[in-house]
Structure 1
């Protein structure tokens, strides 16, 4: 038995029952299901029925993980290229579109990240870092970028085995200042300054990854 969707929406995992499409021709239903499946909005489970997909299914975002290898340096570097394109644009759009509440969310997340650095708490630093980038994506008012940013950061977290995720050392000190530069540009409504600051942040993070990887390689060789 399926629960009735609330507020006119369907939650992930909701089963689309046959009675919900009564009165509609089978041809129309089949075409609609085909389109929704291609978009990743619904998933058909053989012998069970049709279900609303979770967010990772939207745009096929979750499928990135099927080929991403977190220990492959080429993949990691390509992921940084992807993130640079995403976050440059989300910051640019956020500078144009951010509402007052969204500006506060960006500022609050940056403050959490800074507090994590100052207290040496990796969990707090990482929490603020994730919230900061998510808040900017939200302020872009573009749902496709929001999903893509979230997925790219999830994949980057998987590369912790060779990267700097969780470090609150020198990398974090720079990240805190870079977050502030991005926030100030968005707050000032300067799209190009925001995009430039976001690009610099991703580039500097990649440089730190490279340095850390080289250090580990040399230390293991010795």
Structure 2
């Protein structure tokens, strides 16, 4: 297949439909993932050089380098000094070769991922409510409470840590290593969407997510299996609405600029010096 269509303003950075600035490397990272999928590249396959990728994607070499860095940081690429750029090896578990083409900014891929997450995590919550030991119940509650403390302090990093700990604690309380591994694997993939779509910004209310954590924790503590499962489904549905809104905003923005032929101007200065911010977890 041919090279992917160049996104409006690729390599420059611009604003999305919600007014959020998107640096050039983020746009080029999306193009690069599409290129890997279109070329049907697999784990271990070698990519062109930075200069070659820049030419293929219609971006500057410096912006392409930053795109490669962020994709390496989220585990999609491997950069080997003196050897080149490669599609990263499978992380194991559910993230195997069949999922190596997961597109973190694709509505279709994200919705399939969230559908799978709903199935897995609702059953995990159900089993946790039936099987959790007193120590596991206390751990789940503590993680939920920590997420609320972080949410009220608008501490996105603290919330991300508590959020991950909460879902892992529920997974551990299911007493099924495969369910727990699946929860961890699906959240690793979701974190890639967090980085490329939300770019360090909270996609929704952290406090609402924390309230949902606490409600799930209380259902688990009370041994109410069906309620715990229902609350987890509602929790993930909140995340889904956030992703849908963000992806639609991005697609609408690209389509509107494609029709006019004039990319929006960035709200601040940009260029090859744009550095990716450290990823944070979404309110999920």
TM-score normalised per structure 1? 0.68
Kindly state the Cα deviation for residue 143 of structure 1 after the two structures are TM-superposed.
0.4
Name the structure 2 match of 1:62.
Answer: 95
> Which of 181, 189, 198 is the equivalent residue of 1:155?
189
Describe the superposition over 1:30-71 as per-residue Cα deviations: whole angstroms up to 9, x where unpaired. xxxxxxxxxxxxxxxxxxxxxxxxx953xx423154232212
Paired residue secondary structure (1:136): helix
> Which of 109, 122, 131 is the equivalent residue of 1:97?
131
Tell me if 1:193 matches 2:244: no
User: Does the Cα contact within 8 Å between 1:88 and 1:195 map onto a contact in 2?
Assistant: yes
CA distance in 2 between partners of 1:74 and 1:162 (Å): 16
CA distance in 2 between partners of 1:138 and 1:75 (Å): 27
Cα pair distance change 1:109/1:61, threshold 3 Å: same
TM-score normalised per structure 2? 0.54
Name the structure 2 match of 1:23.
Answer: none
CA distance in 2 between partners of 1:103 and 1:201 (Å): 19
Unaligned stretches of 5+ residues in structure 2: 1-89, 258-284
User: Does the Cα contact within 8 Å between 1:112 and 1:127 map onto a contact in 2?
Assistant: no
User: Does the Cα contact within 8 Å between 2:107 and 2:247 map onto a contact in 1?
Assistant: no
User: Does the Cα contact within 8 Å between 1:70 and 1:158 map onto a contact in 2?
Assistant: yes
Cα pair distance change 1:164/1:191, threshold 3 Å: farther
Describe the superposition over 1:103-146 as per-residue Cα deviations: whole angstroms up to 9, x where unpaired. 11111111221111111111100000000000000000000001
CA distance in 1 between partners of 2:149 and 2:194 (Å): 22
Describe the superposition over 1:6-33 as per-residue Cα deviations: whole angstroms up to 9, x where unpaired. xxxxxxxxxxxxxxxxxxxxxxxxxxxx
- Which has the higher Rg, Structure 1 or Structure 2? 1
User: Does the Cα contact within 8 Å between 2:106 and 2:247 map onto a contact in 1?
Assistant: no
Matched positions, count: 166
Unaligned stretches of 5+ residues in structure 1: 1-54
Tell me if 1:128 matches 2:162: yes
User: Does the Cα contact within 8 Å between 1:182 and 1:197 map onto a contact in 2?
Assistant: yes
User: Does the Cα contact within 8 Å between 2:219 and 2:228 map onto a contact in 1?
Assistant: yes
Name the structure 1 match of 2:85.
Answer: none
User: Does the Cα contact within 8 Å between 2:203 and 2:242 map onto a contact in 1?
Assistant: no
Query: By percentage of residues, which structure has more helix?
Result: 1
